[in-house]
């Protein structure tokens, strides 16, 4: 966990362009996301779309550290959206 206040995170999220904030806060958020299985891509990879993030965990694998500690609701496990829907 990054241990930052909600207002600090909101200010960071509101930044236009590179994230603004104290270096230690930015580093804490980056480390927390990496520890959660997020990989940062700089845009210089085979593909297009520029910089972004993606899950570092291969498809089909659980991203939960301990599934016994996570509440899973079966009614929300199935994809009930029409084809092509997404966000």
Residue 79 domain-assigned (yes or no): no
Q: What is the predicted pLDDT for the residue at 44?
A: 66
Q: CA-CA distance, 55 to 58, in Å (whole number)?
A: 8
Residue 78 lies in a domain: no
What's the pTM? 0.52
Residue 81 lies in a domain: no
3 state SS for the chain: CCCCCHHHHHHHHCCCCCCCCCHHHHHHHHHHHHHCCEEEECCCCCCCCCCEEEECCCCCCCCCCCHHHCCCCHHHCCCCCCCCCCC
Q: Whole domain around residue 47: which residue ranges?
A: 1-57
Which pLDDT score, from 0 to 100, does residue 19 have? 76
pLDDT for the residue numbered 59: 55
The pLDDT of residue 25: 87
Average pLDDT by stretches of 10, the chain with 87 residues: 84 80 84 85 66 70 59 68 69
Q: Is 40 domain-assigned?
A: yes
In the chain, the number of structural domains is 1
Beta carbons of 29 and 12 less than 8 angstroms apart: yes
pLDDT number for residue 69: 63
In a domain, 75, yes or no: no
The set of residues, in sequence order, having a beta carbon less than 8 Å from that of 46 and lying 6+ positions away, is none
Q: Residue 65: inside a domain, yes or no?
A: no
Q: Is residue 19 part of a domain?
A: yes
């Amino acid at each position: 966990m990054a241990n930052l206040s909600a207002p600090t995170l909101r200010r960071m999220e509101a930044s236009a362009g590179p994230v603004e904030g104290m270096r230690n806060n930015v580093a804490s958020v980056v480390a927390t996301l990496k520890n959660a299985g997020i990989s940062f891509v700089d845009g210089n990879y085979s593909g297009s779309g520029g910089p972004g993030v993606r899950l570092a965990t291969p498809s089909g694998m659980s991203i939960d550290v301990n599934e016994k500690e996570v509440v899973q609701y079966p009614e929300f496990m199935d994809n009930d959206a029409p084809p092509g829907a997404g966000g």
